Amino acid sequence: MTKTNASDMIRSARFRAEREASWKRLEGLVAEVEKSGTAALSYGQALDLASLYRQAMNSLSVARSISMDKSLLLYLEALCARAYLVIYAPQESITGALQRLFVTGIPQAVRRSAIPLVIGFAAMMIGCLVGYLLFQQDPSWYFTFVPPELADGRAPGASASYLRDSLYDTDTRDGESLGVFASFLFSHNTRIAIFIFALGVFVALPSFALTFYNGVLLGAFVALYAEAGLGPDVVAWLSIHGVTEISAICVACAGGAKLGLAVLNPGSLTRRAALKDASHDAVKLAILAGLMLIVAALVEGFLRQLIQDMWLRLVIGWGLGLCWMLWLALSGRNRESGQ
Amino acid sequence: MIGRKAELLPPEGVPIAFEISSAGSRLGAQLLDILITFGGMFLLFVVLIWMGVFDWGLLATLFFLLTFLIRIPYYIFAELVWNGRTIGKRIVKIRVVSDNGGRLTPHQIVARNLMKEVEVFLPIATLLSGQFDTSLTGWMLFFWMVGILLVPLLNKHRQRLGDMIAGTLVVDQPQLVLMPDLSTRSATKGNGFVFDTGQLGVYGRYELQVLEEILRSRPQSLEQTKRMQEVARTIVRKIGYQQRLLPNDYWNFLNDFYRQQREFLENRHLFGDTRENKFHDVKAAGKET
């Protein structure tokens, strides 16, 4: 078999012969970037990558209209696809993306999501109220709500002194076991928050129900201590981390509600498009919830055990809450108006 | 079910088709990822405990942090760093792409993976644990979870809920194979087979590309040779080729026919007369009447 010379070739074969070398070069560059990243390229190579990519795209477009060589078309399509994935890769620096997220992204998303936030906090508060009132009516409700492993002896009928001890830990823990406790809390609570968030896509009801149930638990728990005359003490005990932690659950629920509302009431969009639209703010709410849970776990794991004074607990808890509020209310204001 | 395509439109304006990954390869990638993360963590702890440099408190802290990190954060970081590929996806050769033709954004990666907890981990863990009650709620939960797992099988682009929310697709990594151009291989020296317009006008693009596949490799076995000869005889009969043809010449005959047929069809195509298959005459006649 011999190769025919160029003048003998048919048009599409000539087209290919003229460009094949540049495709092969692009293939080599793409393989290199896929293996060791864009940073491995020299300045000249990076420039070449871009221009060779455009040439290959051009070739694909021309080949589709002049060539019936199936293998060539498949090759060009795959080459362009690979090069496209290499060139349109995420190129933001992680620090830049994080900075944008914290300065503008999250606070603006929170300010845009008033209704879902109301739903999230309402679920918690109504649950809390229901739990409190039911307990006052009949303390045996407590056993219905609270699973025994969570109650840990803190049940109706427990003596006031036992309850007091459970609030003001007298046995001193060393720093290490506090760290274990904090990391357990974080790992556990974050999973629950992601759960509450993701369930929101099923028209928000499961998120609402889970948050409501958490509220009922909380209400019954407070009522139990209030009956023993320890009302302010339990509020302080809960406040130091709870202001952040319980708000985080509500925020996660709000993120879920945002998705659920998009499914329930997509407006003039299709449900799928509405869901996609809502996800931008919803995901930021979920990230915020995760962040708050990290802080809450640190506070619950360390500070609550180390600080035994009721007033200091209240001040730290609500002060932290105030900080969250200030950040979310004020950050990223001028950029918002600038856009 | 196999061979579904999704067309993306990159900013350059030339549509590119990607093959949507099969449900099997996605399940495989997911199982591999679970195996790698949980297995890796198990091995790490075996080694750490064996070395005995850390005390139990530190180990427990590490354990709780890692059990969290290997769930959602692992997938987010892997897909961020490797542009839509976790380790499992790399092994199975599939990847996540944005369905709008732009680049994959961090938002999309976070959104699709946050949903994983409810869509993948919860149903798998619950169904595998085997502990569900046979009450009405038990059955409802069971069907609900099976339903969630089935979502990717029930829509056109095999998207799970997280993919729909984020606007992402999972596609096969395109494979690069460049075959030689068949039209440049001229088997005949001097006396080539020559076909006239009437003979070349019988077939269309589809038949040409089938012939291309046949000609990709020379027949090795007796059976392959027989099949190739049958193709050649069919073509001779259909186009009404008059000259005598020796069995030895069949291969060269097909190669020459391919080259001239392709040149002819490509020319007609440039003049606006695209012949998709051998029924192009019927269509043209139908239009005229």
Residue pLDDT, tens place only, A167-197 = 766 555 555 566 676 777 777 788 888 888 8
CB contact under 8 A, B177 and A71: yes
Return residues 150-209 of B near A (CB < 8 Å).
Answer: 161, 164-167, 173-179, 181-187, 189, 205, 208-209
Nearest to B176 among A27, A58, A89 (CB): A27
Return residues 129-158 of B near A (CB < 8 Å).
Answer: none
8 A C-beta contact, residue B170 and residue B94 = yes
CB contact under 8 A, A198 and B104: no
Question: Is residue A133 within 8 angstroms of chain B, CB to CB?
Answer: no
Q: Would you list the DSSP string of B140-190?
A: HHHHHHHHHHHGGGSSTT---HHHHHHTEEEEEPPP---PPPGGGEE--SS
Closest-approach residue (CA) in chain A for B205: A68
- Which has more pLDDT, A332 or A256? A256
Residue B274 pLDDT class (50, 70, 90 cuts): confident
Tell me what the mean pLDDT of segment A257-261 comes to. Answer: 86
CB contact under 8 A, A60 and B14: yes
Checking if the pLDDT of B36 tops 50, the result is: yes
Task: Enumerate residues 6+ apart whose C-beta is below 8 A from B44.
Answer: B66
| Strand B16-19 with B94-98, pairing | unpaired
Segment among B35-44, B59-68, B279-288 with least mean pLDDT: B279-288
Q: What is the pLDDT of residues B155-207, one digit of tens each?
A: 888 888 888 888 899 998 888 777 777 777 654 555 577 777 777 777 888 88
pLDDT at A7: 56
The C-alpha atoms of residue B70 and residue A138 are separated, in whole angstroms, by 44
Strand partners, B192: none
Residue A207 pLDDT class (50, 70, 90 cuts): confident
Nearest to A71 among B122, B179, B208 (CB): B179
Tell me what the mean pLDDT of segment A112-138 comes to. Answer: 87
Tokens read off for B125: 């863990």
pLDDT at A174: 54
Task: Enumerate residues 6+ apart whose C-beta is below 8 A from B94.
Answer: B21, B25, B26, B29, B85, B170, B171, B172, B173
Checking if the pLDDT of A222 tops 80, the result is: yes
Question: Is residue B122 within 8 angstroms of chain A, CB to CB?
Answer: yes
Q: DSSP letter for B22, please.
A: P
pLDDT at B88: 92
8 A C-beta contact, residue A44 and residue A71 = no
Ordered alpha helix ranges (H), chain A: 11-36, 43-66, 70-87, 94-100, 106-112, 114-137, 141-145, 148-151, 160-167, 175-199, 205-227, 231-264, 271-298, 304-306, 310-330, 333-338
pLDDT at A176: 56
Chain A residue numbers touching B178 (CB-CB < 8 A): 20, 23-24, 71-72, 75
Task: Enumerate residues 6+ apart whose C-beta is below 8 A from A338.
Answer: none
Return residues 63-102 of A near B (CB < 8 Å).
Answer: 65-72, 74-75, 77-82, 84-85, 88-92, 94, 97
Question: Is residue A32 within 8 angstroms of chain B, CB to CB?
Answer: no
Strand partners, B170: B96
Q: Kindly list the distances between the CA atom of residue B124 and the CA atoms of A185, B118, B120, B127, B148, in Å, as whole numbers in the listed order.
A: 24, 10, 6, 5, 10
Q: What is the pLDDT of residues B120-143, one digit of tens each?
A: 887 877 777 766 666 777 777 778
The C-alpha atoms of residue A140 and residue A150 are separated, in whole angstroms, by 16
Of B23, B106, B99, B119, nearest to A273 by C-alpha is B99
Burial B214-246 (b: 16+ CB within 10 A, else e): ebeeeeeeeeeeeebbebbeebbeebebeeebe
CA distance, residue A196 to nearest chain B CA (Å): 9
Instruction: Using the structure block, give the residue that is written with the tokens 């990709």.
Output: B216
Residue B96 pLDDT class (50, 70, 90 cuts): very high
Checking if the pLDDT of A4 tops 60, the result is: no
CA contacts within 13 A on the Cβ side of A83:
30
Q: CA torsion sign, A153 to A159 to A160 to A161?
A: negative
8 A C-beta contact, residue A298 and residue A213 = no
Return residues 212-231 of B near A (CB < 8 Å).
Answer: 212-213, 216
Q: DSSP letter for B4, please.
A: -
Element (H, E) at B238: helix B222-239
The percentage of chain A sitting over the pLDDT mark of 90, rounded to a whole number, equals 1
Of A191, A190, A196, A187, nearest to A215 by C-alpha is A196
Tokens read off for B234: 């069919």
The percentage of chain A sitting over the pLDDT mark of 70, rounded to a whole number, equals 87
Tokens read off for A181: 């406790």
CA distance, residue A103 to nearest chain B CA (Å): 16
Chain B residue numbers touching A92 (CB-CB < 8 A): 106
CB contact under 8 A, B110 and A23: no
Task: Enumerate residues 6+ apart whose C-beta is below 8 A from A147.
Answer: none
Checking if the pLDDT of A2 tops 60, the result is: no
Tell me what the mean pLDDT of segment B79-87 comes to. Answer: 87
Return residues 93-112 of B near A (CB < 8 Å).
Answer: 95, 97, 102-107, 110-111
Chain A residue numbers touching B208 (CB-CB < 8 A): 68
CB contact under 8 A, A279 and B259: no
Domain ranges of chain B: 5-172, 182-288
8 A C-beta contact, residue A253 and residue A196 = yes
The C-alpha atoms of residue A299 and residue A312 are separated, in whole angstroms, by 13
pLDDT at B289: 46
Strand partners, A256: none
Number of residue pairs across A and B with CB atoms under 8 Å?
185
Name the amino acid, one letter, at A18: E
Dihedral (Cα; A91, A96, A101, A103), 10-degree rounding: -150
Return residues 36-55 of A near B (CB < 8 Å).
Answer: 54
pLDDT at B1: 43
Nearest to A275 among B17, B164, B187 (CB): B164
8 A C-beta contact, residue A19 and residue A67 = no
Tokens read off for A73: 């078309």
CA contacts within 13 A on the Cβ side of B63:
16
